[in-house]
Each structure stands twice: as structure tokens, then as C-alpha cells.
Amino acid sequence: MGNCCSDEVSHAGAHPVGSATAKAASAASAAADRFLRSRGAGASTQIELSLSASNLGDQEYFPKSKPMVVVYSKKRDGTLEEIGRSEVILNSLNPFWTTKISVQYQFEVLQQLVFQVFDIHQQFHDVSEKMLKLEEQEFLGEATCLLSEVITKRDRLLTLKLGVSEHNLPNPNNFGELTVQAEESSGSKAIMEMIFRCSDLEIKDLLTKSQDTFLLISGISDSGMPVPICKTEVRKNDLNPRWRPVSLNLQQIGSKENPLIVECFNFSSNGKHDLVGKIVKSVAELENMYHRKNGENFFVPASNAHECHSKEVLKSQLYVEKYVESNRHTFLDYISVGCQLNFMVGVDFTASNGNPRLPDSLHYIDPSGRPNVYQKAILEIGDVLQYYDPPKRFPAWGFGARPIDGPVSHCFNLNGSTYQPEVDGIQGIMSAYISALRNVSLAGPTLFGQLISTAMAIASQSLAENQHKYFILLIVTDGVVTDFQETIDAIIKASDFPISIIVVGVGGADFKEMEFLDPNKGEKLESSTGRVASRDMIQFAPMKDMHGTGISTLQSLLAEVPGQFMTYMRTRETQTDS
């Protein structure tokens, strides 16, 4: 689904992905592409944490405390990775540390932070904070929170009670409090928007039937490896393409003087895109190209491994048709002023899931408490989104089942209510799901149209009432949808409203036909009346445990939501301004 490309060189002069050595790079590029695509400015955000404390320890034991705080990221396996240390404050039980701790914000991940406060002994005052051995210092207390708990506060400020874990303190009843304040890096707001076009593109592979091109823009890491930042859409059958604007922010590129790699690829539906050519320019040089109205010739690396420093210069040229710098609101700006993300769920109750009473059913409720695939999908997405919706009232539906003494329904409330689909929290969804399994008969077929239309109606009403909400509908299904056109029509209507749709396929079905739900291959969905979606707001993928990068399928789908949210908000702002 929109895979990026590697720099693996083939003897034909193209750069397909597919060799054993390119598989890891391909997986990483695919994950990066999914993560970055449609996110506009700010594919990732640097957060700076400011820390202060009050009433540390106990004055009887620590009358002249010299505190320092150490910040850790807690991994899935429970291990702690240190991400920063403050300076040492002399003789204070109410310190305000000036050192800011930097954290990379990832919307799609639950990022657990651990803060440990230490009193630094007198004999170590001349030792650099980074060199201090913590086991030689006095432990004053510990606090834990999720990064999302901080950044979803209106003032991005959260006060935590300090406590104790395995450390032994003289008086375990008085640890004081730690206050955490998050601030978004200013570089994420400084935007450089560019429009690129090409002339006389050379498609050298004679076996390639398509001439469908896109640009991939990458930075260069400290190790010299390319790091994908953003990509354009695919322009079909055009050797002189002009792409829609792309946006970079200062945080992504570090400096306008840092080199960027701009690669042009010929799209292939199998993900093995061929390199047409590349250029290496800084943003400052791209800006200069815009002002001078001159093009830059693409080049391709030599195909001979012994000539790794040589290159073939092509007649094809890249032009910068537009260059504009500005400051923009970010996703976190909207969240900090009270915009909420509302989680919605649709669960497939068709008969192909198997008898829920049998262990081989996808709906089997394991007495041991191990979640089935439906529960896993709901929990993984819901655990992230719940922090962005303080009321935690989530609409939850089922489809493809026959309620007791009733016809097959393709959108019924999981909680059994006739009128209200909302349940309380993620556990409310779990309870309603299990209850529904006992009270409906699995049937079919697999239809999405009514479910999407119902969710869209809620988003539409919210918009009409001027509520600051954006909705994320998760549909979990084990089969291929059969109401193709009705589903497409519903999606296209929904694209005008504040909603994103995530469709996850579970079980062993062949979901290839479901790829029509993901228009990221350069195609746009078209309704029965010829209308196309106003924006990309639906994603589909079969559920797998992990990508090659360690990112789960659900995380990679969820990562696209902030960009879809920002696309919607900018469209609304443009309509309001006009």
C-alpha cells in the first residue's frame, strides 16, 4: 500500500525492491511511507518536557536536598530506556529544572514515561550529571504517566504524585509532587511548501507498461542513510508531471542547508517501483531554483558496482514551481485547545467467523482471558484513542447478524439499546461485544454501507452543532465486502465530514479485493454519480503482528489519522476563509 523504494541497483539501471538485501529496507520504507503519507506538515513531532517538583522527600531527612530528575521511556517488555536528565538544583525541596527533556511524539503508540528523582550527595557535585551513578545517590520518588496524558491537557501540564517502587525510603508517606509540562518544538510549525514538476522524464525499462510517477523526498541521517520524509501522489501516464504541493517542516530537515534526496519513481502496483532519477539539493538550493526558474537534471547511479561514485546524468529535469514559507497550526495545537477524537467501532458478526462457542472461531471467548483477534484490534486502537476523548463514550455497532426474533441487521447497537449506541470506555465495548455474541445469530453477507452511513450521520450532526470533534471508525471484518458501490458511495460522502475510517481484516481470507478501500496507489474512489472523495480518509490492511520495523499493522494504520485530521481541518479553514 504505497510502498516507498530502496536504492538497490539493478543491472537494468532501475532500482526495484525485491532482492534479499533490500527486504529490510523495503519494509522500513513501507512503514515510513504509511507513517508519513497524508500527514502534511509534521510527520513527527519533537516534544520538550519542562519539569518541576514540590515538597520533595521529608525535611526531617532531606533538609538540604539537591535534586535531579531522570526521565525514562518504558518499553513493551517493561525495561526502561533513559532519555534525559535534568541539572542538579542545590538545596531545594521545590525545584524548577531548566533543562528540557526531548521526546519524539508518536500518536499511534502508548508512550509510557517514568520520572525518578534523586538527591545528589555532596561529594558528587563536581561530577557531570550524565556521569553520575544513580545507585550511589538518594532516591526521592518516582512517577509514571503516558505522554498522551500530558499533551491532551489544555495547558499541556500534568501534576503527578511521587511514589516509590522497589526503593526504600525513611518515610514512605511523603514524596511530594512532580509537574510535567509539554511544549511542541517550534520547528514543527515552520513550514516550507513546494510544488514540483518534471520535464521529459525517461522511462528506460522497456518492460514497464505504466508511466505513473511520484516523488519521494528523504533527509540524510548522521550515518549517511536516507530517511523518508514525504512523498507526492502518483501522476498517471504523464512524462511531464506536476504534483500537488508537498510540505516540509524545519524539524524534519534540521536546517535549510541540510541536503535532501529527491527521487522520482515509476509506480508499480506490486510495490517494486523503478527509480527514474534523483537529485540531491538542500531546501535553500530548492528555493533558489524556484527564484531562478531553472531546472536540475536528474541522475542515476552507475549500474556497475565498481563505479559506485559515477553517475549518468539524464535530460529529464526537476523544477520547483512554487516555494512558500509559513507558520501553521499543528495537530497538537488543535488537541491542546480542546478538539477531541471520538472512537467508534463496527464488528463483523457474519457466519464465516465460525461458531463463537468453538475454539476455532474468530469470535471465541477464551476462558483464560486471552483476547481473540477482534478484541485485540479494538484494544490496540482504543487504548491509544481513549486519551483524546475525555468523556470516553464510544459508539459501538455490529453488522451481519440476526438479533433474537428479528431479521438480519447490518448495523445494530452492540449494547442492545434501540436508540443509544454509546458505551462507557474500552471495557464497555468489550462487555457489549461479549453480550452481543450471546444474543445474536451470526448470518451475512458482509455489508459496510449502512454502518459507514450511520457513523457519518453522527459526524455530520457533531459538525452541525459546532462540536470540536473528529471521529475514527474502526471496522473489523473477516471477509470481503459485497456491497462495493454502496460502500464507496458512503465513503465518498463521509470524506466531507470529520471522520477517518480504519478497516482491519482478520482471519485467513484473501483480502486482495478489499484493496479498493485504500486509494493510496494513485487512484481515487468514484461514486455511482461520478464524484470522487474529497480527501484520503480510509485505510485497509489485513491484521498482522508486526511489520519489519516492529510497528504493528494497527499502529501503522492509526499513524495516518493526524494527517487526515489536518487535511480536513485545512480544507475547512479554506472553505471558511472563502
Q: Is the pLDDT of residue 220 over 50?
A: yes
Q: Is 527 exposed, middle or buried (0-12, 13-18, 19+ CB in 10 A)?
A: middle
Query: Is the Cα torsion angle 307, 310, 315, 317 positive or negative in sign?
Result: positive
> Which domain-ending residue is among 187, 207, 231?
187
Q: Are residues 378 and 292 in the same domain?
A: no
The answer to whether 491 touches 533, Cβ cutoff 8 Å, is yes
Q: Are residues 374 and 521 in the same domain?
A: yes
> Using 50, 70 and 90 to split pLDDT, how confident is the model at 25?
very low
> Using 50, 70 and 90 to split pLDDT, how confident is the model at 32?
very low
In a domain, 53, yes or no: yes
Q: Please report the pLDDT score of residue 7 as a whole number.
A: 29
Quote the number of domains for the chain. Answer: 3
DSSP conformation letters of 186-220: GGGTEEEEEEEEEES-----TT-----EEEEEEEE
Q: Is the pLDDT of residue 285 over 90?
A: yes
Task: Quote the CA–CA distance of 295 and 282 in Å, as a whole number.
Answer: 14
> Using 50, 70 and 90 to split pLDDT, how confident is the model at 233?
confident
Q: Are residues 281 and 247 in the same domain?
A: yes
In a domain, 401, yes or no: yes
Q: 412-413 and 393-399: which strand pairing? A: antiparallel
The answer to whether 349 touches 443, Cβ cutoff 8 Å, is yes
Task: Quote the CA–CA distance of 247 and 183 in Å, as a whole number.
Answer: 22
Q: Is the pLDDT of residue 212 over 70?
A: yes
Average pLDDT score over the chain: 85
Q: Are residues 443 and 569 in the same domain?
A: yes
Q: Please report the pLDDT score of residue 237 as a whole number.
A: 86
In a domain, 491, yes or no: yes
In a domain, 528, yes or no: yes
DSSP conformation letters of 429-444: HHHHHHHHHHHEEEB-
Q: Is 92 exposed, middle or buried (0-12, 13-18, 19+ CB in 10 A)?
A: middle
Cell match 542547508: residue?
257
Could you tell me the pTM of the whole model?
0.79
List CB contacts of 392: < 8 A, sequence separation 6 or more: 386, 424, 425, 426
Q: Please report the pLDDT score of residue 225 as a whole number.
A: 84
Q: Are residues 111 and 79 in the same domain?
A: yes
Q: Is the pLDDT of residue 323 over 50?
A: yes
C-alpha cell at 74: 518504558
Task: Quote the CA–CA distance of 478 and 351 in Å, as a whole number.
Answer: 10
Tens digit of each residue's pLDDT (9 = 90 or more) over 539-573? 998 987 544 445 688 998 998 899 899 999 988 87
Look at 348 and 274; give whichever has higher pLDDT. Answer: 348
Mean pLDDT of the 117-141 span: 90
Q: Please report the pLDDT score of residue 396 as a whole number.
A: 98
Tens digit of each residue's pLDDT (9 = 90 or more) over 62-110? 566 899 999 999 998 899 999 999 999 998 889 999 999 999 999 999 9
In a domain, 108, yes or no: yes
Mean pLDDT of the 159-175 span: 69
DSSP conformation letters of 29-66: HHHHHHHHTT--S-SSEEEEEEEEEES-S-TTT-TT--
Mean pLDDT of the 153-182 span: 79
Mean pLDDT of the 451-478 span: 97
> Which domain-ending residue is among 187, 220, 241?
187
What letter does residue 124 receive in the DSSP assignment? Answer: G
Query: Is the Cα torsion angle 349, 352, 353, 359 positive or negative in sign?
Result: positive
Q: Which amino acid, residue 209?
A: K
Q: 64: domain CATH number?
A: 2.60.40.150
Tens digit of each residue's pLDDT (9 = 90 or more) over 373-400? 999 999 999 999 999 999 999 999 999 9
Q: 564: domain CATH number?
A: 3.40.50.410
Share of the chain above pLDDT 90, in %: 58
Q: Please report the pLDDT score of residue 328 as a whole number.
A: 84
Q: Are residues 208 and 305 in the same domain?
A: yes
Can you give the residue range of the structural domain that contains 88? 45-187
Q: Please report the pLDDT score of residue 221 as a whole number.
A: 81
Q: Please report the pLDDT score of residue 303 as a whole number.
A: 63
Q: Are residues 418 and 477 in the same domain?
A: yes
C-alpha cell at 539: 485505510
Alpha helices in 395-439 (DSSP H): 425-439
Range of weakest confidence among 264-273, 433-442, 514-523: 514-523
In a domain, 5, yes or no: no
Q: Are residues 100 and 222 in the same domain?
A: no
In a domain, 160, yes or no: yes
> Which domain-ending residue is among 327, 357, 380?
327
Q: Is the pLDDT of residue 20 over 60?
A: no
Q: Please report the pLDDT score of residue 38 as a whole number.
A: 33
Task: Quote the CA–CA distance of 525 and 539 in Å, as a whole number.
Answer: 12
Q: Write out the E strands in 483-562.
A: 499-505, 538-542
In a domain, 15, yes or no: no
Q: How far apart are the first and last CA of the chain?
A: 35
Q: Are residues 282 and 371 in the same domain?
A: no
Mean pLDDT of the 501-511 span: 92
Range of 204-218, 251-265, 458-472 with top mean pLDDT: 458-472
Q: Are residues 195 and 183 in the same domain?
A: no
Share of the chain above pLDDT 70, in %: 84
Query: How many of the other CB atoms lie within 10 Å of CB of 257?
Result: 10
Q: Please report the pLDDT score of residue 491 as a whole number.
A: 95
